[in-house]
């Protein structure tokens, strides 16, 4: 991360600072997005920006920038990447106020932050061996559909998973499996690919939506339906999906093997479809004239 976009300017990372009274710092009064850019092209940018604006509307804010501004910012952040895959982080806070107060004050200029980081290549062992997970009671607030920076419960759940020797945790609420600490949930049960429907209890995932589209196009039987904890435990396959994790196969849950304890055939099929979609974006990036505006 060499440079940061902050409130209209690109700055060296060490010079990008916000006031101590910024509400994002004091109250986590802010939302964020994480957008992969493969070969310098942002992945599903339109969908990511739509989710950003949905989150802003839910906390009573408007997007301070239009699509053209966001595209220009992301293009600048990708300009020096030399075709490297990047993760673009965007955060918008309610802004800095003169005094700390819980009540939402009259609007001031929001704080807008964006920067890029390299996407770490997937460890090949994940495709060969999968990951492990535990289940934890979902102690988060009731509006998990807002991509807000109020992530302490997620951080603590992931820490508990690591302390137990697992790679991640899956939240269970009222007997229903919801999602991972930073990912959406899929299972394969009796040959059917299932993911919980969008609701206020989980984040509407961009990668989740792509998996559903790929399943539809490939003729893979799938459904959006609630997943009971008992169904999670007898699933033939379990996946966790996110923009940076892509599709991770869970091969062990609470110390018990999922299926035969290896990434399953449905996951291998879907992962192949997903990797092909990524490669199409990289190919488009290599073939795109330099003067064209970067886009999805």
Of 184, 22, 185, 170, the residue nearest 96 (C-alpha):
22
Which tens digits make up the pLDDT trace of 183-240? 999 999 999 999 999 999 999 999 999 999 999 999 999 999 999 999 999 999 999 9
Under DSSP, is residue 95 helix (H, G, I), strand (E, B) or coil?
Answer: coil
Which tens digits make up the pLDDT trace of 83-105? 789 999 999 999 999 889 999 88
Give the list of residues 6+ apart from residue 174 with CB closer than 8 angstroms, or none. Answer: none
Domain spans of the chain? Answer: 3-118, 124-280
Q: What are phi and psi of 204, to 5 degrees?
A: -70, 110
Q: Which CATH number fits domain 3-118: 3.30.40.10, 3.40.50.300, 3.30.470.10, 3.90.1010.10?
A: 3.30.470.10
Q: Is-same-fold flag (3-118; 124-280)?
A: no
Under DSSP, is residue 281 helix (H, G, I), strand (E, B) or coil?
Answer: helix
Which tens digits make up the pLDDT trace of 110-167? 999 999 999 988 889 999 999 999 999 999 999 999 999 999 999 999 999 999 999 9
The set of catalytic residues is 147
Q: Judge contact between 290 and 52, C-beta under 8 A.
A: no
Top-level class of domain 124-280? alpha beta
22 has a pLDDT exceeding 90: yes
Of 197, 123, 132, the residue nearest 168 (C-alpha):
132
pTM here is 0.92
pLDDT > 90 in the chain, percent: 85
Helix (H) or strand (E) holding 265: helix 265-287
Under DSSP, is residue 175 helix (H, G, I), strand (E, B) or coil?
Answer: coil
**pLDDT range class, residue 77, cuts 50, 70, 90:** very high
Give the list of residues 6+ apart from residue 163 with CB closer than 8 angstroms, or none. Answer: none
């Amino acid at each position: 991360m060499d440079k940061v976009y902050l409130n209209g300017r690109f700055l060296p990372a060490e010079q990008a600072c916000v006031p101590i009274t910024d509400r994002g710092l004091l109250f986590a009064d802010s939302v964020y997005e994480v957008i992969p850019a493969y070969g310098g092209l942002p992945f599903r940018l339109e969908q990511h920006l739509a989710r950003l604006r949905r989150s802003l509307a839910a906390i009573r804010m408007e997007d301070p920038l239009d699509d053209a501004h966001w595209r220009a910012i992301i293009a600048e952040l990708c300009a020096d990447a030399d075709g490297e895959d990047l993760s673009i982080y965007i955060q918008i806070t309610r802004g800095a106020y003169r005094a700390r107060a819980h009540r939402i004050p009259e609007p001031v200029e929001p704080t807008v932050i964006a920067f890029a980081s390299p996407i770490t290549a997937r460890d090949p062992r994940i495709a060969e061996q999968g990951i492990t997970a535990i289940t934890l009671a979902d102690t988060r607030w009731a509006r998990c559909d807002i991509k807000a920076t109020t992530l302490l419960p997620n951080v603590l759940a992931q820490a508990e998973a690591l302390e137990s020797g697992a790679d991640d945790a899956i939240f269970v609420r009222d007997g229903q499996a919801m999602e991972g600490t930073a990912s959406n949930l899929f299972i394969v049960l009796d040959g059917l690919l299932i993911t919980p429907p969008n609701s206020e209890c989980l984040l509407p995932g961009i990668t989740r939506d792509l998996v559903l589209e790929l399943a539809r196009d490939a003729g893979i039987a799938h459904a959006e339906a609630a997943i009971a904890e008992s169904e999670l435990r007898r699933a033939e396959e379990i996946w966790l999906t996110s923009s940076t994790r892509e599709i991770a196969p869970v091969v062990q849950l609470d110390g018990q093997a999922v299926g035969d304890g290896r990434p399953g055939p449905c996951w291998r099929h879907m992962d192949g479809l997903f990797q092909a979609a990524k490669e199409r974006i990289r190919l488009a990036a290599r073939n795109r004239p330099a003067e064209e505006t970067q886009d999805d």
